[in-house]
């Protein structure tokens, strides 16, 4: 992949239910000329309302594995339930060619992988939910997942929170508006240099 030292990447990682989707949307709204959402590829089924090529590229396990073979991923993980998620090099190039900075919504391990490759060209932000109990309540309220899936997401959340020390910036989301402002501030500062 052709990269340049001026190429930057912003990563938002957070346990699901930590408010990441709202923060992502707000960043795209506030900085449409600077940031572009990086559309990941996944083997999981689309949820209601999700669009192929917009929220994710929904692909088969065979297509995903072929792309691993072809060295097409910057990073990929089997996140849970045996589902694969990955950021393609092609997607990074598409966004850099627009002279924009990719905004990645990926899990902590993917974030650490990208950070290890691109170092100071990456701003990695961890969104921390106030507590696992709050996270549990939010996931139940959201009503998108079965109880079994919620338990899986919570187990993964606890694991992810333990990794927050590896991030450039930690933003606690106890107040969604404040969290958005803090993320915005960090991104503006990062893009200045
Ligand atoms: P969801 O299924 O709720 O959309 O996403 C589940 C988890 O997968 C989230 O933590 C999300 O950030 C992560 N994820 C989404 N895309 C990618 C990706 O391309 N790479 C990695 N490593 N994780 C991803």
Q: Using CA atoms, how far apart are residues 131 and 179, in angstroms rounded to an integer? A: 15
Residue with tokens 């600077």: 34
Shortest CA distance to 13 belongs to which of 148, 139, 175, 123? Answer: 123
Q: Is the CB of 15 under 6 A from ligand 1?
A: no
Answer whether residue 4 shows pLDDT above 90. Answer: no
Nearest Cα residue to atom 7 of ligand 1: 107
Return the ∠ at Cα 132 (arms to 131 and 138), rounded to 5°. 95
Q: Is the CB of 110 under 6 A from ligand 1?
A: yes
Ligand 1 centre to CA of 2 (Å) is: 25
Q: Indicate the pLDDT class of residue 6, thresholds 50, 70 and 90.
A: confident
Q: Using CA atoms, how far apart are residues 135 and 2, in angstroms rounded to an integer? A: 39
Enter the tokens of residue 34: 């600077």
Q: Indicate the pLDDT class of residue 21, thresholds 50, 70 and 90.
A: confident
22-36 pLDDT, tens digit per residue, is: 999 999 999 999 999
Nearest Cα residue to atom 14 of ligand 1: 106
Nearest Cα residue to atom 10 of ligand 1: 107
156-177 pLDDT, tens digit per residue, is: 889 889 999 999 999 999 899 9
Enter the tokens of residue 72: 């097409």
Task: For residue 59, give Cα distances in angstroms to 42, 52, 65, 83, 150.
Answer: 6, 9, 10, 11, 24
Q: What percent of the chain has pLDDT over 70?
A: 98
- The residue whose CB lies within 8 Å of the most ligand 1 atoms, and thus the one to mutate among 106, 163, 164, is 106
Q: Are 167 and 124 in contact (CB under 8 A)?
A: yes
Q: Is the CB of 19 under 6 A from ligand 1?
A: no
Q: Using CA atoms, how far apart are residues 8 and 188, in angstroms rounded to an integer? A: 12
87 CA: nearest ligand 1 atom:
19
Ligand 1 centre to CA of 51 (Å) is: 15
pTM of the full structure: 0.91
């Amino acid at each position: 992949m052709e990269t340049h030292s001026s190429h930057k990447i912003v990563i938002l990682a957070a346990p699901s239910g930590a408010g990441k989707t709202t923060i992502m949307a707000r960043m795209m709204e506030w900085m449409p000329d600077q940031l572009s959402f990086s559309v990941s590829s996944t083997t999981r089924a689309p949820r209601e309302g999700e669009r192929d090529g917009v929220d994710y590229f929904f692909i088969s396990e065979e297509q995903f594995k072929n792309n691993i073979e072809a060295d097409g991923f910057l990073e990929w993980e089997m996140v849970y339930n045996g589902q694969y998620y990955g950021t393609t090099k092609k997607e990074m190039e598409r966004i850099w060619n627009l002279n924009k900075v990719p905004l990645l919504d990926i899990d902590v391990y993917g974030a650490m992988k990208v950070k290890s490759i691109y170092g100071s060209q990456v701003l990695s932000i961890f969104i921390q939910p106030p507590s696992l109990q709050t996270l549990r309540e939010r996931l139940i309220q959201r009503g998108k997942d079965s109880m079994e899936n919620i338990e899986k997401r919570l187990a993964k959340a606890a694991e992810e929170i333990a990794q927050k020390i590896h991030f450039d910036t930690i933003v606690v989301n106890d107040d969604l508006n404040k969290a958005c402002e803090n993320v915005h501030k960090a991104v503006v500062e990062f893009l200045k240099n």
